[in-house]
Structures are given as C-alpha cells and as structure tokens.
Amino acid sequence: MRSIEETLRSLTDALPAMVDDLARLVCQESPSADLAAVAASADVVAELGERLTGQAPERIVADGRTHLRWRFGGGPGGPRVLLLGHHDTVWPVGSLAEHPWRVRDGLAYGPGCFDMKAGLVQLFHALSVLPNRDGVTVLVTGDEEIGAPSSRSLIQEEARVSAAAFVLEASAGGGALKTARRGVSHYELRVRGRAAHAGLEPWNGSNAGVALAHLVVALAELDEGPHGPTVTPTVLAAGTTNNTVPAAASVHVDVRVASAADRDRIDAAIRGLDPSVAGTAVEVLAGWAHPPLEPSASAELFALAQLAAGELGLEPLTGASVGGASDGNIAAGVGTPTLDGLGAVGANAHAPGEYVEVAQLPRRAALLARLVELVRQQHR
C-alpha cells in the first residue's frame, strides 16, 4: 500500500501533467447554454478520467446537457463516496481570445480554470494514486452554473447511497474549505391589474405597475442581510405603451438563506404579500431552488479533512460559509454529509483575471485522496 508521503510525492511529480491537463480543459470552452460546447467538453473530461483511472465513464445526456458518471466497484461491502464536480462554465465561447490560457509566476489563468476545471484535474489525479477505488462514484455535471436543472436528480440519486460527498468546487479565500453554503430560492411575482387609457380615464384602470412598486418595497423590507436572509428583487417589468395603465407587471426575486427554518419563514412572508392597490392581484411562482448546506452537514468531514491535512504535512485548514450555491447543496439536501470547496486555490471566479495557484494542485489532490481513504476506513 502506498504511504501518505509517497502519495504526496507522486502527485507533486505529476504537477507538469496536471498543468497540461488543465490547459486542455480550459481551452475547450464550455458555457452552460451551448450544448455542443458542453458535449465537446465532456469528451475532454472523459478522456482525462479514463486515462488516469483506466475506466470509461457513463455518458448521460438529459435535456441535451452532457453529464459523466464513473462508478468504481459494483459490489456491496463498503461505503460509497461521491466526488462531485461540473465542467460547464459561465464564459461564452470566444472568451479565450480576451482571456487566454497562460501560466505566469506560479499562477494559471483562463476562463473557468478556478471554477472549476482545476478541481476536475485534482479529482482524477487523486484517483490515479488510490490503490483501490472500489466504492467511489464520480459525477461531473454539465449544468451546475444554471442551477442543475437536468442533473439534480442524478446528484440526489448518488448522494442518497453515499456515506459522504466531496465537492471539487473552488476553495474560498486563502484555500478555505466551504463548510456552509446558503440555500437559494428564486421566485417570480406576477401582478394582474386592469388596463385603461392613461389620458382619458386612468381611474377606470387598476395599475399593476404601482402595485408592483409596493411589492418591491415590501420585498426589500424582508431582507436581513448581510448576516441574515437576503431578499433581492432583480428583474422588473410593467406596462405595454406609455399611454396605457399597466394591466400586468412582474418581478423576479433572489433569496439566500443559511437554514431551512429561514427558508420556510421567508417563503411564507413572500407568499403573504399584498399588492395594496384595489383591483389588482398577485400570483407567486417558485422557480428553481437549492437547499442550504448547513454547518452540521459538513462538521464531521471537515474534522476529517483537518486530520488528513495534518498527516500530509499541509498547512492547517480553515472553513468558510459562502453565499453562492453549488451541487453540494443538493447532496446535503438529501441528508448526505457533504464537504465543499476541495477544488483549486485561486481567485476571481467568473471574472477577468480568474486564476489558480499551480503549486497547490498536487497538495489538494493528495488531500482528496486521503479523505476518500479515511471515509472508507471509518465505515469498514
């Protein structure tokens, strides 16, 4: 059996190959909305995984979006450990022209390198040094950046039969693991009023735009940020022409919560809002949502990660609570212990100058490999 020191040494020796693999992933652009680009990206990820593990993935296409799944070892007798990642990005095709792949002064740059293609490189290189991969499931999705509409059920299916889920999303500041993530809920409030001529008889109308204004103010008053739930009206629309009382209006709302209790409380408050204008009515439509990843879901795995870091001689780990959601929220939502942010150390996700600290790639891969081994030892 390979020693802990040998694992880290082997991955450190593989650093040039890790950088080359990251270059291939970044140079295959994969915006979520471009199904052909996502499919082409899946080919690159599949080649990487098969080359490093010796096993080809199952290709799953749902609603035109390409996801990849590896299941190592088919029999019972041990815990399943789920490794989660995604290969879609927020960057449109052509972004490489303005933000080219490059490595400079120990940093690797390029669209999607930090969020989260370097995490995929770390994942498969970690698997390459495991002497036994039985019980490991890898799920790499192609729609995380748009809320996982077609992969949600896949994530839930694998999480329900897993003892732990490790998410290779980019780390928080300074390499912190993400021990908590806010849940996300999206709503649309639609107001129905009555049209009338704005010059001849506006009093015969019921102004949906004015009703919407009351609702937007009421929504803003539900916001308790930065330390409580955030409620943010975003896209607003009302009216048809400048001489017609609006008969319809709408607002989209982004809600972020740290706990299921806050989620339920804010949901009830939104559904109870009154448009306050006679003759108008409001309909509340709930969009996609991610449950919160609460600290209790990650506590035991974070302690295990601290142990693994100590064994490997890495710097002590820190944890962070973040506002953005990921596939980790979905895994935690079915009750699976989940630890997020195990991917790359870097900065500027979704922004110009997105980068990865190259020297951290083998260390984070070694941390993941050791975590998988420790979970399996715990459940023997």
What is the arithmetic mean of pLDDT over 18-42?
98
pLDDT cut 90: percent of the chain above it: 93
pLDDT at 76: 56
Q: Is the pLDDT reported for residue 3 higher than 90?
A: no
Q: Is 144 one of the catalytic residues?
A: yes
pLDDT at 73: 87
User: So where are the chain's domains?
Assistant: 4-182+292-378, 183-290
Q: Which of 21, 88, 115, 357 is catalytic?
A: 88
Q: Is the pLDDT reported for residue 1 higher than 80?
A: no
Question: Residues 287-327: pLDDT tens digits?
Answer: 889 999 999 999 999 999 999 999 999 999 999 999 999 99
What is the arithmetic mean of pLDDT over 83-105?
98
CATH, range 183-290: 3.30.70.360
Question: Residues 256-273: pLDDT tens digits?
Answer: 999 999 999 999 999 999
What is the arithmetic mean of pLDDT over 320-345?
97
CATH topology of domain 4-182+292-378: Aminopeptidase (3.40.630)
pLDDT at 5: 87
Q: Is 98 one of the catalytic residues?
A: no
Helix-helix angle 35-53:118-128, to 10 degrees = 20
Q: Is the pLDDT reported for residue 93 higher than 80?
A: yes
Mean per-residue pLDDT of the chain: 96
For residue 74, name the pLDDT band (cuts at 50, 70, 90).
Answer: low
pLDDT at 380: 72
Q: Which of 21, 115, 144, 158 is catalytic?
A: 144
For residue 379, name the pLDDT band (cuts at 50, 70, 90).
Answer: confident
pLDDT cut 70: percent of the chain above it: 98
To 10 degrees, the CA torsion angle through 9, 15, 16, 20? 140
Tokens of 97: 């022209």
pLDDT at 364: 98
What is the arithmetic mean of pLDDT over 236-262?
97
Q: Is the pLDDT reported for residue 79 higher than 90?
A: no
What is the arithmetic mean of pLDDT over 139-153?
97
Q: What is the model's pTM?
A: 0.91
